[in-house]
Structure 1
Amino acid sequence: MRLLTFLLIVLGFYAAATLLLFLEQRSFIYPAPRAREDIERLLPGLQPVELRTSDGLTLVAGYKPARAGMPTIVFFHGNGDTLRGAVAATDRLAEAGYGLLLPEYRGYGGNPGSPSEEGLVRDGQAALDWLARAQVPAARTILVGNSLGSGVATDLASTHTVAGLILISGFSSLPEVAAAHVRFFPARMLVRDRFDNAGKLPRVRAPILLLHGTEDRMIDASHGQRLAGANSRAALMLVPGTGHELAYLPQSQSAILTWLAKHHGGA
């Protein structure tokens, strides 16, 4: 009887913890920094612009026009990052003459709204819509997604004709990442926001570069390998000795510049 009582108590705590994880999952997935960045101070020539989403939000972003004849890079940052981090991951690309559009997500950086998969994809679409109005077509746009941003970039690349897709520390799907970190709960079933990159990547027709650190403890390098197997256009570069900070290391931008020069004739 005591054993049965103990088991019921344990099961009760487990059920309560599972319910809490389910209800509060987006606060764990999107630990959104709230402070608004002074965009003009982040990078010379970077100017604040406003993106208007299809569900009525006005979001801040940073924009630096491309040098004549150069493509524009749209960079989607990771789940706990900010525009400052996005600049750190792209400053050498801007210096080489590529245009930059750095969108900030809903709920991040003083923006209205609450993050979700549907919402972040809307935010990404708003970035492409803004570029189209600025006479920068999707066909002259390269999408870059770091970590969580890989989900936004892949979704857009699977539904638009873009010049290229670059994923840094990308994942095969968000439930797969959750399952690796929350082993004692049915994470694959509980996670509502799927970001199924492996399922969407076969629909991408643009050249694809995948960068992943071999020592990444947040998103294992096996995710990059699965993504590479999902599309024959994908080139996978595993960077030895680097972890989830790869996007901010010199190796990342150097590899991107080399790849861009090969595919788009850039610097």
Structure 2
Amino acid sequence: MAFLRFLMGFLALGTVGYLALVLVVYLSQSSYLYPSASEPVPPGAAEKAGFEAVAIETEDGIRIHGWWKPPQPGRALILYFHGNGGNLLNRAERARMLTEEGRGLLLVSYRGYSGAGGTPSEEGLRRDALAAYRFLSSYDPARIVVYGESLGSGVGVRLASERRVGGVILDAPFTSVPDVARRVFWYLPVDLLARDRYRSIDRIGAIGAPLLILHGEEDGLIPVALGERLFAAAKEPKRFVALPGVDHVGVLEEGGLPHARALLAEVERSFASAASGLDRR
């Protein structure tokens, strides 16, 4: 009898501890999903990198920050959404790489990032993406190529499923937040706990523009298998590039850039062909 009481007490204590852990993870999940770099960007940093600093107001009154460079004639225009650990400063080299052939780029940071107000959330980042898209409203959507990196892939997939674009590049994308979280918190009911889900797997089929997915085979954060599942759910035209020996953060720099440029060139040819057809009418 004494042993039974001990066992029941032990199980009760374990249950209380488990429920406390579930509560802690539930309440702190935003800090895992959005470890934002909230420090303001130093004045002149955009100009030093060859861009113009811009402020973009969202429909709910948040002013987010971006770096902007218009495209040269006939070149594509990249709308770049960075990952959850990114910001304007630490994506400056990527912005330079993507624009060095005359292409335009709007590198946008989210609410709560790079000195912007507000608190990140899935709906908030959707509004940020829509505001960035509106910023480019003077350009033909057929020139716009969405580039979504890691968390930004979820932002980019949703935007491209709801608005017209000329192409989509996804860098280390995922199917959904619970699918990623389950690898770390395998002992928790993550499907029940996740507030922000970014279910790209449910939305990518609505994208009709040419799609390129880049994924490092040694990605320890978002396994390449999730990128492959997302690719399988997408429509043609599409291409998947697995990069041997590449981890989560080096996709563009360690082999992805030529493939990204090929997709951008494809969009430019398509846009030029359509414009030429209109001129002949």
TM-score range, shorter chain: over 0.9
Aligned-partner SS, 1:112? coil
Give 1:5 shift.
Answer: 0.5
Amino acid at match of 1:80: G
* Distance in structure 2 (CA, Å) of the matches to 1:227 and 1:48: 34
Unpaired stretches in structure 1, ≥5 consecutive residues: none
Contact 1:89–1:247 (8 Å) recurs in 2: no
Matched, 1:110 2:148: no
* Distance in structure 1 (CA, Å) of the matches to 2:68 and 2:140: 15
For 1:19, which of 1, 23, 28 is the aligned residue?
23
Q: State the Cα deviation string for residues 29-86 of structure 1 (Å, max 9, x = none).
A: 1000111123743554301111110111111111011111212101100001111232
* Distance in structure 1 (CA, Å) of the matches to 2:265 and 2:43: 28
Identity of aligned residues (%): 36
Return closer, same or farther for 1:90/1:174 CA change in 2, 3 Å cut-off: same
Unpaired stretches in structure 2, ≥5 consecutive residues: 271-281
Aligned position for 2:211 = 208
Amino acid at match of 1:216: D
Aligned position for 2:82 = 77
Aligned-partner SS, 2:136? helix
For 1:53, which of 58, 63, 75 is the aligned residue?
58
Aligned position for 2:224 = 221
Give 1:158 shift.
Answer: 0.1
* Distance in structure 1 (CA, Å) of the matches to 2:51 and 2:161: 28
Contact 1:168–1:246 (8 Å) recurs in 2: no
For residues 96-175 of structure 1, the aligned pairs below 5 Å read 96-132=101-137, 135-175=138-178
* Distance in structure 2 (CA, Å) of the matches to 1:79 and 1:40: 24
For residues 232-243 of structure 1, the aligned pairs below 5 Å read 232-233=235-236, 234-243=238-247
Aligned-partner SS, 1:144? strand
* Distance in structure 2 (CA, Å) of the matches to 1:116 and 1:138: 26
For residues 189-208 of structure 1, the aligned pairs below 5 Å read 189-208=192-211
Give 1:150 shift.
Answer: 0.3
Aligned position for 2:13 = 9
For 1:32, which of 12, 31, 36 is the aligned residue?
36
* Distance in structure 1 (CA, Å) of the matches to 2:229 and 2:133: 27
Contact 1:150–1:168 (8 Å) recurs in 2: yes
Which one is further off, 37-46 or 88-97?
37-46
Q: State the Cα deviation string for residues 113-136 of structure 1 (Å, max 9, x = none).
A: 00000000100001011111xx12
Q: Would you say how many aligned residue pairs link Structure 1 and Structure 2? A: 264
Give 1:88 shift.
Answer: 2.3
* Distance in structure 1 (CA, Å) of the matches to 2:159 and 2:148: 11
**Larger radius of gyration between Structure 1 and Structure 2:** 2
TM-score (norm 2): 0.90
* Distance in structure 1 (CA, Å) of the matches to 2:207 and 2:227: 16
* Distance in structure 2 (CA, Å) of the matches to 1:105 and 1:31: 12
For 1:93, which of 65, 89, 98 is the aligned residue?
98
Contact 1:67–1:98 (8 Å) recurs in 2: yes
